[in-house]
Amino acid sequence: MRITFSNDDVTIRDVSPTPVAIIEHRGDRKTIGDTRQRLMDWRNAAGLPPEISPTFMVFRSERNPANPAEYRMDLCVATDRPIEANDMQVKAGVIPGGRRAVLRYPGNTTNLEPAALYLYRDWLPASGEEAGEFPIYCQRRLSLIPESPAHEVVLELFLPLK
């Protein structure tokens, strides 16, 4: 099912900085499951379930770069707890605050590229806004995979603005 977006689907929101635990995925997207599992293992050991510590994904490259080894994404868990040195390569970081164009995305979240392209190619030029320095990112909302069917999952895609 193709989802069609309109300017009415985008809201501008001011967000506060969010301290996070980050695990960086660098390399072929086919191996992202291993990175996700390491973060889930760390999250469980740290006692930070999704209900109290939201999950973020920061997209640092194209979805399908010409060289798959150049794919980059950060998987993050909101927490203001100190991050101890660990074998899972989880480190402390911050998703900066500021103005954001926010697009809610319902359903299948395996391909956010159409939503991201809508924000960059359609909404942004028509809005008169300028993209900020931080990459586009998303936050899972309302219900979580795998606990919920894909059609019940809703996430928000954040485009930082100047």
The 10s digit of each residue's pLDDT in 15-25 is 999 999 999 99
Residue 36, number of CB atoms within 10 A of its CB: 16
Angle at 6 between CA 124 and CA 129, to 5 degrees: 20
Strand partners, 129: none
**pLDDT averaged over the chain?**
89
Residue type, 88: M
User: Can you tell me the distance from the alpha carbon of 3 to that of 111, in angstroms, rounded to the nearest whole number?
Assistant: 11
Question: 55-94 pLDDT, tens per residue?
Answer: 999 999 888 888 988 999 999 999 999 998 888 899 999 9
Residue 159's SS3 state is strand
Query: What was the pLDDT predicted at 151?
Result: 57
Query: What was the pLDDT predicted at 73?
Result: 96
Tell which residue, 61, 36, 60, 63, has the closest CA to residue 50: 36
Tell which residue, 2, 6, 32, 3, has the closest CA to residue 127: 6
Tell which residue, 156, 35, 21, has the closest CA to residue 94: 21
**pLDDT of 145 above 60:** no
Question: 26-62 pLDDT, tens per residue?
Answer: 999 999 999 999 999 999 999 999 888 999 999 998 8
